[in-house]
Amino acid sequence: MIYTLYMSFLERLCCTLNSKGIKYAIVGGHAVALHGAVRGTVDVDFVIAWSHQALSNVEACLNSIGLVSRLPISADDVFYFRDEYINARNLIAWNFYNPQNLTEQVDVIISYDLSIRSIDNMVVGDTAVPVLKLNRLIDMKRESAREQDLFDIDALERLKK
């Protein structure tokens, strides 16, 4: 895969996931910003259509662009012990980072199963970027109910008016 020098990390990530046919959607701060609300964030959060194969493919894609798991776990671990990680360890996201560039981080949200009907297709640079639909993003943020999510909900609700 050929990347341009000026391609953003978000573009490079999405280009890689797209090339492997992974069903995913951007969520979190990048999704808020792509929907039109001002929001700063470093990591890229995304959800997948949940399956063992999809999770394994995601891990391989992330490794291929230099990202490694922050925890000593694999796609097999996350898939088979998902409920334990979520309920007993409060782990809702599997974090990957680039040891050579700490600004390149992603969170694979493991507590959410993507419905393909929940995607808005957007373009960043020359790259197709699937983003969780506005109403589903608001619902997801309501479920989380962290302080930042409440600010995001307010900003996203204003966009709907």
pTM of the model: 0.92
- The answer to whether 127 and 115 have CB atoms below 8 angstroms apart is no
- The answer to whether 107 and 45 have CB atoms below 8 angstroms apart is yes
More confident position, 4 or 12: 12
pLDDT at 39 over 90: no
Half-sphere exposure of 39 (CA within 13 A, CB side): 24
Q: Which of 3-7, 23-27, 45-49 has the lowest mean pLDDT?
A: 3-7
Span 13-37, average pLDDT: 95
Domains and CATH numbers, the chain: 9-155 (3.30.460.40)
pLDDT in tens, 59-112: 999 999 999 999 999 999 999 999 999 999 999 999 999 999 999 999 999 999
Tokens of 149: 């999510």
* Residue labelled with tokens 């039109």: 36
pLDDT of residue 145: 85
pLDDT in tens, 103-151: 999 999 999 999 878 999 999 999 999 999 999 999 999 998 899 999 9
Span 42-57, average pLDDT: 96
pLDDT of residue 6: 60
- The answer to whether 43 and 98 have CB atoms below 8 angstroms apart is no
pLDDT of residue 55: 98
pLDDT at 2 over 90: no
pLDDT of residue 19: 96
